[in-house]
Amino acid sequence: MLTQLSINNYALINQLSIDFSSGLSIITGETGAGKSILLGALGLVLGNRADSSTLKDTSKKCIVEAKIAISNYNLRDFFDEVDLDYEDNTIIRREILPSGKSRAFVNDTPVNLSILNELKSKLIDVHSQHQTLQLSDTNFQFEVLDALAKNQEKIASYKKGLVQLNQLKKELIVLEQNQREANQQYDYNLHLFKELEEVKLQVAEQQTLEETLDKLNNIEDIKLNLSEALSISVDEQVGLQNSLHTLENRLQKIASFSKEYEEISNRISSIKIELDDIVSELETANESVEFNPNELEKTNDRLQLIYNLQKKHYVNSIEELLVVHEQLSEKVGQVENAEETINAKKEAINAISKKLDEVANLITKSRVKVIPNLKSELEELLADLGMENARFSININQTKNYFSNGKDELEFLFSANKGGSFGELKKVASGGELSRIMLAVKKTLSENIQLPTIIFDEIDTGVSGEISNKIAAIMQQMSKHMQVITITHLPQIAAKGNNHYKVFKDEVDGVTTTNLKQLNTNDRIVEIAEMLSGKDISESAMTHAKELLN
């Protein structure tokens, strides 16, 4: 509940700080005294838009601060979600700078207005005349039904399932779109894939082929040079092998005379062994070299095929061609396996839909079950409020569609006159009737769910006498479950409050300011007497005021 409101430099307010308590609090004051300014300041601290025009002194910043006890509102999870420090006595502060820029803080942590507005809906419900149009909003009507039906957990479960269902449907749409696009390219992709598949490319194959082709194109030079190399190596007169053999013999004869000679001899022996291996490989190479036109043609054709494929796919290597091959395989496989994938996705959608249907049916049954009690309670309350012939027609129709809160369509109709036809609330109910209907709805809700603080802004406009007493009684009953603050012009309602505040204007040095003060018992008697008879308070008005307070 709202425990304190502090306002500095806002509209006609210099500085004001007022404490609030539980129960029913009354705010009264003459027309134009500044009651709307109070609501404006409260709306400002809860996230309403603001600019520098709200500053009383445009050279200073405006500060509005609200202290709210929130221990009963189960808001710890919300504070964790938006990364705010939780405090049982939470302080919300809004600052408007002379430049027009604004800042908002929750427990001294800066927040943006979207978070502030979300928090506002959980803390304070400011109800004014124009908000009666909310009665005609289907979402609000569902909220009333679901509050009475205790559907919160079911709807939370349904919403989780609906998120999953919508995600699966999006994935199915993408799969089907991809399949359509892939089908259009399937034949061409399949041709390209088979073409690469048949070639059976190998990594580094191109380099090997290019080396082979270069060898085959120069076979005569290779043969000539290999032959000459062998001749130089094995000639009996001047060949390297014969010369090395002679050199080895000479050094072996002196190797025993010196370690130096021995090392030289060993090195020559190593060279001779290496040369013998080289000669052996030269002989093998020379024997294997022969001109083979078929191999040349085959190698050339294979290379040309690879070059053509690289040109066709705009790549420069076999490695890149293999990547293209893999991509084509995926595209072809996607089409060939698409039906199986799509069917699996459809089965998942059907499974989620079945579970959603079960939860939606439970939600519908709960709603239908509470409709008779809601109708009778609202009609009974409205009869007390002077609308004896008020009747409601509330019907639930389950559809095949998945809405955000179930599968139901709601028809919430009203008739104010005996024998009159039912119609939409906004079309058949007057402003005063809508206010009383909203009061009845809020009273019913207050007994079934934990509502935030509610502020009624002259909801009693247009009523008097016994009806005003009934409105006051309803507010008193609501205040047993929640904090109720009401701005009123009716003495009958003002007398029923647990606390009474008066808005008034002062003029200091030619400057008008708005103030708010809490009234004691004697002050309340005077205020209510003035509401009864005007500025010139009569003795009978004072007596009547005391009777009302008692």
Q: What is the 3-state secondary structure (H, E, C) of 377-436?
A: HHHHHHHHCCCCCCEEEEEEEEEEEEECCEEEEEEEEEECCCCCCCEEHHHHCCHHHHHH
Taking residues 102-114, what's their average pLDDT?
Answer: 92
pLDDT of residue 167: 95
Residue 361 lies in a domain: no
Residues 183, 72 within the same domain:
no
227-241, 299-313, 334-348, range with greatest mean pLDDT:
299-313
pLDDT of residue 131: 61
How many domains are contained in the chain?
Answer: 2
Taking residues 521-549, what's their average pLDDT?
Answer: 90
Residue 414 lies in a domain: no
pLDDT of residue 19: 93
Residues 192, 96 within the same domain:
no
72: Cβ–Cβ under 8 A, 6 or more apart, which residues? 450
Residue 248 lies in a domain: yes
pLDDT of residue 185: 73
Spatial distance between the Cα atoms of 352 and 346, rounded to a whole number of angstroms: 10
pLDDT of residue 206: 84
Residue 369 lies in a domain: no
pLDDT tens profile 452-473: 788 888 877 777 778 888 888 9
How would residue 524 be classed by pLDDT, with cut points 50, 70 and 90? very high
Task: Check pLDDT > 70 for residue 316.
Answer: yes
Comparing 18 with 433, the larger pLDDT belongs to 18
Residues 210, 322 within the same domain:
yes
pLDDT of residue 379: 92
Residues 102, 210 within the same domain:
no
* pLDDT, mean over the chain: 87
* Cα–Cα separations (whole angstroms), residue 140 to 15, 377, 445: 37, 18, 12
pLDDT tens profile 187-231: 777 788 888 888 888 888 888 888 878 877 888 788 888 888 888
pLDDT of residue 538: 86
pLDDT of residue 132: 64
Residues 323, 458 within the same domain:
no
Residues 314, 223 within the same domain:
yes
- Domain limit, last residue, from 316, 339, 362: 339
Taking residues 391-399, what's their average pLDDT?
Answer: 93
142-146, 154-158, 274-278, 479-483, range with greatest mean pLDDT:
154-158
Taking residues 158-179, what's their average pLDDT?
Answer: 91
Residue 56 lies in a domain: yes
Start-end of H helices in 200-258: 205-217, 219-234, 240-254
Task: Check pLDDT > 80 for residue 279.
Answer: yes
Residue 365 lies in a domain: no
Task: Check pLDDT > 70 for residue 133.
Answer: no
Task: Check pLDDT > 70 for residue 129.
Answer: no
- DSSP state, residue 46: T
Residues 230, 109 within the same domain:
no
Start-end of H helices in 125-201: 138-149, 152-199
- Domain limit, last residue, from 339, 373, 398: 339
pTM of the model: 0.66
Taking residues 80-91, what's their average pLDDT?
Answer: 92
Q: Where are the beta strands (DSSP E) in 279-390?
A: none
Percent of the chain with pLDDT over 70: 97
Task: Check pLDDT > 80 for residue 13.
Answer: yes
Residue 372 lies in a domain: no
The lowest-confidence range among 56-60, 163-167, 355-359, 408-412 is 56-60
Residues 189, 276 within the same domain:
yes
How would residue 56 be classed by pLDDT, with cut points 50, 70 and 90? confident
Task: Check pLDDT > 80 for residue 290.
Answer: no
Task: Check pLDDT > 80 for residue 130.
Answer: no
pLDDT of residue 336: 66
Domain hosting 320: range is 173-339
Residues 184, 329 within the same domain:
yes
**Are 209 and 217 spatial neighbours (Cβ–Cβ below 8 Å)?**
no
Residue 108 lies in a domain: yes
Helix (H) or strand (E) holding 316: none
Residues 318, 466 within the same domain:
no
pLDDT of residue 69: 93
- Domain limit, last residue, from 339, 362, 379: 339
How would residue 35 be classed by pLDDT, with cut points 50, 70 and 90? confident
Comparing 213 with 25, the larger pLDDT belongs to 25
Residues 72, 188 within the same domain:
no
Residues 23, 123 within the same domain:
yes
pLDDT of residue 307: 87
Task: Check pLDDT > 70 for residue 153.
Answer: yes
Q: Which of 462, 495, 458 is nearest to 476 (CA)?
A: 495
pLDDT of residue 176: 85
**Are 413 and 392 spatial neighbours (Cβ–Cβ below 8 Å)?**
yes
CA angle 104–108–109, rounded 5-degree value: 70
**Are 300 and 180 spatial neighbours (Cβ–Cβ below 8 Å)?**
no
Taking residues 230-237, what's their average pLDDT?
Answer: 79
Residue 118: CATH number of its domain: 3.40.50.300
Taking residues 120-129, what's their average pLDDT?
Answer: 80
How would residue 282 be classed by pLDDT, with cut points 50, 70 and 90? confident
How would residue 385 be classed by pLDDT, with cut points 50, 70 and 90? confident
